[in-house]
Structure 1
Amino acid sequence: MAFAASLAKLQAEASCPICLDHLRDPVTTECGHNFCVSCIHQRWEGLQGTFPCPVCLHHCPDRSLKRNTQLCYMTEIVQQIPTSGSQRKLQEEIPLCGKHHEPLTLFCEKDLELLCAQCRVSSDHQDQPLIPIEEAAASHRRMLKKLVAALTNDLENVERVYKIQFANTPEAMIKMRRWREKLYNECKKLKSFLEIEHLELDNDLLIEENDVEEKLVENRRQISYHMFRLSTLLIEIEDKCLQTDLALLTRIERIHKSYGNLETPAVFSYELKKVIFTLPPHFWGLYQMTRTFQVELTLDPATAHPSLIVSSDKKSVTYRTPGGGPNTQTHIYADVLSSEGFDAGRHFWVVNIGGRGLYYLGVCKASFPRNTFISPSPSNGCWQHQLWNPSGQQNIGIFLDYELGEVSFYNLNKGSYMYGITDTFTGKLMPYFSIALSSESLTMSIISEVKSN
C-alpha cells in the first residue's frame, strides 16, 4: 500500500497541474513549478505585463520559460510504468475544484474551504487569508488533536455523571418508598380523621414517584445520547487526523460545526418534599409537641388510694370497688401521683383511659393536702380537668408549660384541643390522676406515643 501511494505521488509529480495529464514538453516557471508548454501558454493567453503562476500565483515578469529536459525524460519513464487498479484509483481521487476544475492547492481560513489557484482571483475570495494546504493541514491537525483531548475529557465527565445518575436512581426510589411507608404510619396513628386523606396523598405521592422516575430515565437517555454523539465525533476526528492533507481539510467545517453545537444535557436533580399534605394547624402543633416534649412517667404507689391498684411496672392504675366501701380515713379521693415532678420547662404525657366512668387529670403541688375533705382546686394547689369516658379506649394528652403557667388537655383520638388552665406556678408540680368513687371499672395507663421511624 505504501509503495502504491509513493508511485501515485511520483506520477502526480510527472503530471501537469493544468491538464492533469503527463507533462508534454515540460517547462519550468521562475517560481519552480512545471507545466506543459502548451498549457501554460494557453493559460497566459491575452495577459500583459505580469503572468501569475497557476499554482502559487507568483508573478513571472515575462513569458520566458525554461525547458526542463530532465523532467521530460522522467515523464517518459513514468509513462512506461504499468498502472494497477489501486494506483489508477489514487490518481482518480485527486480532488479538483468544482468551479474551475483545477487542483485544490489553497485553503481559506475564513470560510474553511479548499480552493484552487483560480479561486484566489475570483470575487468570492479576494482579500481573504489563503494559505497552502500543507500549512493549513498542519495547523488544523494540531487543533484537532487538542479537540481529541477536550472531547475525551468531556466524555469521561459525562460518563461519570451518567454512572452517578444511574446509581442514584435506586436510592431515589428507596427514599420515595420509605417516605410512603412513613406517611402510611402517620396516617395509621390518626386513622380517625386521616383515613380518607391518606388514600389521596398516597396517590399523589405515587404520581410524584412516577414523575421523578420518568425524569430520571429521560435524563439518562439524554446523557446516553450525548455520550453517543461524543463517541461518534471522537472516532470521526481521530480517523480524520490519519487522513491525507486534502482529505483532512475536505468538509472540515462540518466537524467544527458538530463540535461547536455540542451541548451537555443538564443533570436532573430532585428534592424530596418532607411535607406534601395539608392538615389542621393544631395537628402539627400537637404532633411536634408530642415528639419534642413527651416524658416518661411512673406512678408512685405510696400516694395511691386504697381503691386503686398500681401495676408492677407502675404504668397503670385500676379502680376497684371495695366490698365494705372505700377507706376514707386516709384518702377522700381515689387519686395517685406520679413519681416525677417538674419545677420548670415544658412537658407532655399521654394517658389511656379504659372502661366507663368519671376521672380527673392535671397537676398538683407536692404539698397538696390529699387526706382531707377539701376538694382539689387551684386555691389549694391542684389544677385538674374533669372528663367522662362512656366506654372503650380514650387517649388524653396533657401539656404543662411551667413558665407560661398553662396546663392544656388534648383528645388524641380526634387530634383536637379540649381544655386549658392558666395560672402562676411555684414549687414542684406532680402529674395528678384521679378516679371518681362512683365510677365502675376504670383503668388509667401512662403510655408512650408511638414515634415514626
Structure 2
Amino acid sequence: VEFVTVLADLQAEASCPICLDYLTDPVTICCGHNFCHSCISMSWKDLEGSFPCPSCRFCCPERKFISNQQLGNLTEMAKLIQIRGTKRRRQEETHVCEKHNQVLTLFCEKDQEVLCLQCSASAGHQHHRVWPIEKAAPAHRKNLESYIAAWEESVELFGKVLTMQTRKSLELEKKVKSRRKEVKSEFEQLRLFLQNQQETILRQLQDEEVDVLAKLNENLTKISDHASSVKCLLKEIETKYAKSKLELLASVKSIYHRYKTLKCPEPFSCKLEEYGYSFPPQYSGLNKIIKRFRVDVILDPLTAHRKLIVSEDRKAVRYGDTPHNLPHNKERFYLCPAVVGSKRYQLGRKYWEVEVKDKPEWVVGVCDQSLPRRKKTQNQPMSVQHGLWGIGRCSKSNYIVLGPKKVNLLPKVIPSKVGIFLDFEMSRVSFYNLSDGSLLYMLNDNFTGPLWPYFYTGTDSKPLKICTGTGSE
C-alpha cells in the first residue's frame, strides 16, 4: 500500500498541472511551480505586463522559464516505475500467493491480508479470524460505502472552499486595484494642494517684497531730504554765526525754531510676515480617528479641586467661588483648579472631545501620576511641567502647548471645541481644532506609565464640557 501511495505521489509531482500528463521538457517559473515548456508558453502566449501562475495565481513580473533537467530525469524514472508496477499488478491479478504459489482464497480480519490455505495455517495467523474472500469482500465493500459517502461530502466541501477562496483571491485583486487608484488620486490631490499653497505663498511673498521695497525707498527719500535740510540749516547757522552781534541776534529766533521743529524721519523697519499653511480637514485623518478610537470620558470628582463644581453626569466642570468641605484625598488637586478623568489609559489609541467655547483660560490634555497636585509650583499651570501634555489658552489671543517645552500657538480659526487623540503605540498626543478640522499641534514623548485625561478650568465660571461619545473603551 505504501509503495502505491509513494508511486502516486511521484507521478503527481512528475505531471504537468496544465496537460495532466508526464512533464515534457520541464521548466520552473519564479513561484516555484513546474510545467511543460510548451504548456506554459501556450498559457502565457498573449499576456503582457504580468504572468499568473496556472497553479497558485501568483503574478510573475516577467516571462522567464528555468529549465529543470533534474525534474526531467525524475519524470523518466516515474515512467519506468509505472511500467514495472503494471507488470506486478498483472501478477497479482492471478490471485496466486507469491510465497506458496497457491490460489488466494482467504482473508485475515486482524491483519487485513489476503491468504492462501497454507498461509492461514501458519503460526502468524493462528487464533485470527480467517474467512473466505467471497464473504469478506461484500462485508468490507458495504463498510466502505459509509467511507465513500463521507469522502464525497468532504470532496464537495473542499470544492466549495476552493471555489470560495479563488473568488476571494479575485475580489482581493479588484479591491487592491481600486484602492491603488484611490491612493494615487489622493496623493495627486495632495500634490496639487501643496503646489497651489506654494504658489500662493510665493506670490504673497513677492507682493510683500514689492510693497516693502516701495516703503523702504520712500523712507530713504525722506531721510535724504531731511539730511539736505540739516545741511542747509548748518550752513545758514555758520553764516549767521560769523555776522555782527545785531545780525546774529536778529536771526537767532528763526534758527532755534527751525532746529526744534526739524524732526528726523524714523528708519523703516523691514520685517517680513510669517507664512504657513495647514492641511485641509480631509488630510488630517480626523474623521477616521473619531469613528474608530472615540471613548466616553467622565470626570473623577475625588480628584477635583475644592472650588470646582462637577456636573451630575460628570461631563462638565466649572470654577466656583466657595470651596467645598471635601474629605482628604492624595489624588485631589489642592492649589490648582483641575480634575482628571475617571479612567486611566495605558494601551492602544483613545480619542475624546472637550468644548471650551470662549473661556479665557483653560488647559486640556493628559497627565501621568507624577504631576504634582499639592506643590506650590502647580499654581502656575501655564508653565512647563513634568507629567503634563496639554494645550490651552492663557489670555484672549494667546494659545500655548505644554509638554517637554512650552510652545506659543496662533491658530487662524479660534477653537471652540478641541479633540484629543492619545496614541500609546507612537507615544504621541495630537490636538485638533474641531472648528475647522485642522491639526493644532502634535506632542511626541516617551510614555512610561498610565495617563489620565486632564482638565484645568482657570478661575472664571464658564464650564469645560466633555462631548458625549459613542465609542467603546
Same fold by TM-score greater than 0.5: no
Larger radius of gyration between Structure 1 and Structure 2: 1
In the superposition, the TM-score normalised over structure 1's length comes to 0.34
TM-score (norm 2): 0.32
